[in-house]
């Protein structure tokens, strides 16, 4: 949806660690007498403070820092712990005792004593548990985590799990958790429904700083914080989220931040504001997911998105997903080297691109199907808005029934808000039927290619389906391909005609043997073809 990028001014999260403070409660004279005395170092136990309220045209309004979150109040102040509550002398006693009666080891010796200051013993760390660890609603965190004596919380299990361990969670509902150890898999026990729900956490499940890990078969829900998430993967690598349902979170279903080689596979992501968002990621694979019904708004310019790509340099692969009932299915903001292929979208705008500086370069949108369906929330539905698309290839897609356009193209360097370069954009070998194919909103760079596409709008019921194209700089609607080509120079080898789909009403967009789309394309992909030349649209006739 274009409320996403058209009117975006965003700020992003920027967290800061609170400094250590030295608590000094004694007078200078008293300290001199008692030397050596260790000074207490007090650290914060509260929420880290937040800075960075500088808004940027990031496409994400209401945020305050590079990670796309709004600012929260700062932490409470921390007072020196050695100041006496009664304002009197702070000279310590010569000895003290712990609750169990044993002398404390960090008490300074009495004046004149020859006793040395004892060195505190380090806290013993529990031995990591290897193998399979069990969690159940009937368990206890005092248990050893075995099948007969399981833990009660997932957090306890992941805090003790060693590399290569699997945490099996029995059926029930559990609080959220954070994973900071690598090599841990958290999975639902076979045949049992496991829900992780936690409104007290910004991110219900988080992987932080790990080099491997996995989630499988969980339902993750309940984040109520603006810019929070169901699952967050932060500064990590090698994490997989599979066969899970991530639903009904206020902002993100799944967010991947500054992470590499993450795989999101076979999940259902629904009922969030943004289904999936990646920021500065690389090596990400999003495949085989059902992403739908992400229609919430977080603020006036954020939400209703299926997948959002933010300022990443790739590579990122998005393939084999089904996306429906999202305001905009794919949003690209200053992101490059995306390969979006083999997906099916309906009931929502296919794509929108934009930037506040970084290029959207080298992206590929190939062999996808997009159709209007019943429209987004029953209203108008459009195809692709391309205002930041340098060296992008849009090829071998089938687009059906869009109201205003299948392709909206504008040179983003001509003073267009959130625009970027579209030099080298190629729109080739596609089929666009059932609505207006083009809306060209400015003169385009000479390196832009629009050719060898099949267009057909006969009998269209779309809003502007009685026109084939609109060219703003000519202020003219075109109702024939020949007239459009003569006026613009585009579609020199284009085709106008019924593509002869096997069953368009049933969404079977394979070509019949007598289709005019057969053998009419140019070679732009290396996935092979039958016949004299590639066929147009999603499918190659065999």
Res 300: pLDDT: 78
Res 118: pLDDT: 60
Residue 400: inside a domain, yes or no?
yes
Residue 416: inside a domain, yes or no?
yes
Q: How many domains does the chain have?
A: 2
Instruction: Kindly give, in sequence order, each residue whose CB lies less than 8 Å from that of residue 72, ignoring residues fewer than 6 positions away.
Output: 47, 50
Distances (CA, A) of 253 to 29, 177, 286: 59, 16, 13
DSSP annotation string for 84-140: -TTSS--PPPS--B-TTSPBPSSPPPPTT--PPPPPPPPPPPPPPB-SEEEE-TT--
**What's the mean per-residue pLDDT of the chain?**
83
> Tell me: the pLDDT tens digits for 304-321?
999 999 999 999 999 999
> Tell me: the pLDDT tens digits for 281-312?
999 999 999 999 999 998 877 799 999 999 99
Residue 34: inside a domain, yes or no?
yes
pLDDT above 90 for 70: no
Q: For the ranges 74-88, 205-219, 270-284, 512-526, which has the lowest average pLDDT?
A: 74-88
pLDDT above 50 for 86: no
Res 93: pLDDT: 34
Same domain, 240 and 364: no
Has this prediction a pTM greater than 0.85? no
Same domain, 354 and 244: no
Q: Domain end: 200, 223, 249, which one? A: 249
Q: Are 265 and 240 in contact (CB under 8 A)?
A: yes
For every residue of 188-220, which 3-state class applies, written as one string? ECCCCCEEEECCCCCEEEEEECCCCEEEECCEE
Residue 170: inside a domain, yes or no?
yes
Residue 304: HSE in the Cβ half-sphere, 13 Å Cα cutoff: 21
Same domain, 363 and 225: no
Over residues 177-188, mean pLDDT: 98
Res 328: pLDDT: 97
Q: Please tell me which residue, 72 or 273, carries the higher pLDDT value.
A: 273
Q: Please tell me which residue, 151 or 40, carries the higher pLDDT value.
A: 151
Same domain, 228 and 374: no
Res 88: pLDDT: 34
Same domain, 7 and 131: yes
pLDDT above 80 for 45: no
Per the structure, the complete domain to which residue 537 belongs is given by 349-542
Torsion of CA 224, 225, 230, 232, to 10 degrees: -170
* Cα separation, 59 vs 376, whole angstroms: 22
Same domain, 12 and 142: yes
CA angle 71, 73, 76 (to 5 degrees): 145
pLDDT above 60 for 111: no
Instruction: Kindly give, in sequence order, each residue whose CB lies less than 8 Å from that of residue 33, ignoring residues fewer than 6 positions away.
Output: 91, 111
Q: Three-state SS for 370? A: strand
Residue 356: inside a domain, yes or no?
yes
Same domain, 399 and 527: yes
Residue 448: inside a domain, yes or no?
yes
């Amino acid at each position: 949806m274009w409320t996403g990028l058209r009117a975006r001014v965003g700020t992003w999260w920027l967290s800061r660690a609170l400094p250590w403070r030295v608590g000094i409660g004694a007078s200078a004279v008293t300290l001199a007498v008692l030397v050596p005395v260790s000074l207490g170092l007090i650290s914060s136990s509260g929420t880290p403070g937040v800075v960075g309220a500088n808004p940027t045209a990031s496409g994400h309004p209401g945020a305050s820092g590079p990670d796309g979150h709004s600012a929260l109040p700062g932490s409470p102040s921390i007072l020196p712990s050695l100041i006496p509550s009664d304002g009197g002398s702070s000279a310590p006693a010569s000895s003290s005792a712990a609750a169990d009666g044993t002398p404390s080891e960090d008490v300074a010796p009495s004046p004149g004593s020859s006793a040395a200051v004892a060195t505190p013993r380090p806290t013993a760390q529990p031995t990591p548990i290897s193998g399979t660890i069990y969690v159940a609603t009937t368990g206890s965190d005092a248990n050893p985590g075995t099948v007969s004596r399981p833990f009660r919380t997932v957090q306890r299990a992941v805090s003790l799990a060693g590399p290569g361990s699997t945490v099996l969670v029995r059926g029930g509902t559990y609080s959220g958790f954070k994973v900071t150890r690598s090599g841990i898999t958290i999975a639902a026990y076979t045949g049992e429904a496991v829900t992780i729900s936690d409104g007290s956490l910004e991110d219900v499940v988080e992987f932080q700083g790990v080099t491997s890990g996995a989630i499988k078969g969980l339902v993750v829900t309940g984040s109520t914080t603006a810019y929070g998430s169901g699952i967050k993967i932060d500064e990590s690598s090698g994490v997989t989220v599979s066969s899970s349902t991530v639903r009904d979170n206020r902002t993100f279903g799944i967010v991947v931040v500054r992470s590499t080689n993450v795989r999101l596979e076979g999940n259902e992501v629904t009922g969030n504001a943004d289904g999936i968002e990646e920021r500065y990621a690389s090596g990400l694979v999003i495949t085989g997911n059902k992403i739908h019904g992400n229609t919430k708004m977080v603020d006036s310019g954020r939400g209703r998105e299926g997948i959002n790509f933010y300022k990443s340099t790739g590579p990122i692969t998005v393939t084999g997903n089904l996306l429906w009932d999202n305001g905009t299915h794919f949003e690209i903001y200053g992101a490059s080297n995306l390969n979006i292929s083999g997906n099916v979208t309906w009931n929502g705008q296919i794509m929108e691109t934009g930037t506040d500086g970084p290029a959207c370069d080298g992206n590929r949108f190939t062999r996808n199907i997009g159709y209007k369906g019943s429209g987004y929330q029953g209203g108008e539905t459009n195809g692709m808005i391309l205002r930041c698309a340098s060296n992008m290839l849009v090829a071998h897609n089938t687009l059906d029934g869009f109201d205003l356009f299948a392709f909206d193209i504008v040179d983003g360097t001509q003073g267009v808000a959130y625009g970027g370069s579209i030099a080298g954009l190629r729109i080739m070998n596609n089929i666009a039927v059932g609505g207006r194919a083009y809306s060209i909103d400015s003169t385009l760079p000479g390196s832009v290619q629009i050719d060898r596409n099949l267009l057909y709008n006969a009998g269209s019921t779309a809003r502007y389906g009685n026109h084939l194209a609109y060219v703003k700089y000519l202020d003219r609607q075109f109702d024939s391909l020949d007239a459009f080509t003569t006026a613009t120079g585009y579609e020199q080898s284009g085709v106008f005609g019924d593509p002869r789909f096997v069953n368009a009403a049933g969404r079977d967009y394979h070509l019949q043997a007598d289709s005019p789309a057969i053998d009419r394309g140019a070679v732009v992909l290396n996935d092979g073809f039958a016949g004299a030349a590639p066929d147009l649209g999603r499918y190659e006739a065999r």
